[in-house]
Chain A
């Protein structure tokens, strides 16, 4: 078949403008044909070398292609989508090469920039790794929580039994003895003399009074202890519930208020320890959202924990306060949650730095850092930002979550808890 000059010109333009790099090389890498995209991709790395030899350009990054091309085979595919990482001033560039040997002295090279795809793959890999780690942690946590739970049940049972025995029959008998001696004081005086009789009655009554007040203190302590054990059991149940859930985490329509309340229960001790007043400002009739409740309670718990710990950097002061506000977002379909504290705050320009991986404001790692919190929120299509007017001026965490098409009014908030149980 013959081709007219116009067809040849079109063919050249077609190859020239083809949006992937195309080169014809010999087995030593010498370039005989190269299209525009090829030049665009290689030139920044070739510089003074020019575009005479493909392997001379690539060798300082990766000599794989040179080695693959040294094959004694006459023809055939030498590699497919072989990625070469080329360093550049800004960030590494990844080019994927396919080499097809068409004759002993001719190799067709097709290559494209796969930097974005490679970065996206790396991000996905990171996410999968962190998800796997998170899942492993959850499973471990569930086991540990189960064991601790069993131990706490033992403590609770023993405490309850001690409370049942809190009347101390010996003390009752001692009280009766005191009463008996008082009622027989005349006979005692006749036998022992007034001084000794009074001293004996006084001694018995004082011992009884002293023991009775100790018994009451012990009983109060036991009651307080019992309440603490109950509280620990509640927290353990919540944690266990969410730890177990995360092994098969999924989305369900759930109230953000319920998640917030659960996070608050878990962080109750952190709030109480620092004498922080919590103010809830929940708007009525908020829609339920499609959320991964396990992950979201971790996010809210982490934001609360950070807010609590921010007070540790402040001088002790009265009026420590956290305001937790949940309202509809500006569009009216999604939700906006704000967590404001009047703690130490931070310089406004540091806000984004706090989200960087492995960054901690406290100099130590936390279970779910802000980096992961934001990842979780973003996986729900939402946003998470931190704001502060400056050091000493408090800080806010602002979380927005969009809604999927059919919002359901939030009428059954507190019916959502299933019995955590064993």
Chain B
């Protein structure tokens, strides 16, 4: 197998079954260097299974995985030296203090980040002497993130990096992930938070029932199909026949609710001009005129018929 070192994360036709459940089904992924890939999907979609196969914790039943040109299962030791991993739910010696745990992981690296600085940055200094067992969920999460990046990895896997964090901590973590990308680190993260995916990801893959149902940049996904609807508000019960005849064939114009109008069809500047001209002829002012941008939530609902929130 040729290794493509310019593609740090490469999955081809990867499947994983647990008993009769197919957790991941024929998944392809590709992440370029210094890119952030977000795997977006509800709980049980197969995000963690995918990430754990990339980390070498699970062996795929079918397909190939190349991480930094290495097979995560057979070249596991070599891979682990180069990646940083934030496991879902963290992990640590229950009786070790937070600072001890981070110092331990830092000691595995020849040139780690300064653990004390990292603790301070993530607001963990005060919890430094608290045992892992007694840390709050959010503190355990932040410590797990610190453990993932302290060794200056070239690729990090972050499983639900901001789950259980308050808004302030979340912003710090977003900046940190943004900083990782800026400094050349490749990031694979899972999330079921739309804003997080939208904020951070260069590439977004929406997973449902182990299948990639959509992929692209956040903007691409949100614009998909959205140019087909123009909405505006105007006085109720306007005569639409003139408008429909002025529009190209196959276009539809309807009054969805009193005063709420919808034009369906390829919306381009010409169509927009036609609509405003029609308003001018009727001497009415159209307000709230907008070409719909769908939210990721809409995209997800359209694709899967499921709510994203667990």
Partners in one complex: no
Interface residues of B (CB under 8 A from A): none
